[in-house]
Amino acid sequence: MRLFSLVFILILTASQVWGYEIAFDCGGGGSYFDGKVFEADTAFPGSSEAGYLSGYASIPNANSRFGGPYQSATLCSRFRRGNISYQFNVPNGDYAVTLYFSEYLVHGPDLRQFPIQFNRTVEDTAFDIWDRSRMFYTFSVRYKVQVNGGVITASLGSPTETALLAGIAIEDIVDDALPPMAPANVIATGSYQSVNLSWDLPTEIKAGGVTILRSQSAFGPFEQIAARHDLAPFWVDQNVTTGITYYYQLTTSSLYGQQSLPSETVSATVLGGDESTLPFYSITITPGE
C-alpha cells in the first residue's frame, strides 16, 4: 500500500509539469532566436494548435525607432495591429503569458490606450505603451493565466481601440512556494532633479515585476515608493529634492504574489542645474515683449 501511494504521488506531481512553451514574432514572417525561439506569426490553428485569430501584420517605416536598449530590434521591427486575438490550445494548469511591446507612432500619454484580457478576464482596461515605457519605447509585461478549459485566448484592443503587439510567449509554470531571486546589478544615478534606476531582473519565468523601496538613510527604514508590474529594468524617481542623497532597495515580485529578499542598497544624490551634465538654459522674459 505504501508503494502504491508513493507511485501515485509521483505521477500526480509529474502531471503538473508539461514543459509547454511557444512564442510568436507577431507580424513576422520568419522564426529567429532571441533568448527563446520566436516562430513566424501563424494563423490559428497552425501546426501546434496555436496562432492569431485577428489583427493584421504591420511593418513600420524606416524612420521608426526599433528595439532600444532593452529589447531586440528584430522583434520590434514588425507587429500585429488592430483588434488582436491569439488562441493557444494547452493542457489545464498555470501559464506565464509574456507580451512584448514597442510604440512607434505616438509620442505621448493617452494617445493610444487599449484593453488586455485573457479568456475574457480583463487585466487592463486602458493599457498605454508610451506611458509605461516613456523614452525607452520597448518593454514586456508578464501575466499569470490559470487554464481550466484547455484554451488560452489573449485579446488586445477592440473594434474602436487599436492595439500593437510585437511578440507573445506562453510557458507553463508551477507555484513552488519559493520567493524569487532579488534584482541584480542595481544602479542608481543622480541626474537633474531625478534619480535614474536600472537593474537586471532574475530570469525565472515566474518573475513579474519589481517593488522599489527608498530611504534617506542607508540603514532605513525603507518605504515602498513604486511597484512596476512589468519587466522593464528601469525607473526614474522624480519625487526628489535637489542635493538630497537617496538610498534604494528593490525586490522581485513573482506571478504568485511572493516577494524576494531586498537587493543590495544603492544610493545617488539629486543634481541641480549647475551640477548636471545635461544642457541647462536660463530664459528671461521682459514684460511687454
- How many residues does this entry show for the chain? 289
At 75, give phi and psi (nearest 5°): -60, -35
Work out the average pLDDT over 3-28.
59
Domain 184-269 grouped into CATH 3.40.50.300: no
**Which phi-psi region, left, alpha or beta, contains residue 276 (left: φ > 0; alpha: ψ -120 to 50)?**
beta
In words, the CATH class of domain 2-173 is mainly beta
Contact present, 207 and 230 (Cβ < 8 Å)? no
The percent helix, strand, coil of the chain (3-state, each to 5) is: 10, 45, 45
Q: Are 246 and 240 in contact (CB under 8 A)?
A: yes
Quote the pLDDT of residue 5. 39
Q: Domain segments of the chain: what residues?
A: 2-173, 184-269
Q: Residues 39-81: pLDDT tens digits?
A: 999 999 988 899 999 999 987 644 444 444 445 666 777 889 9
pLDDT tens by residue, 149-169: 999 999 999 999 999 999 999
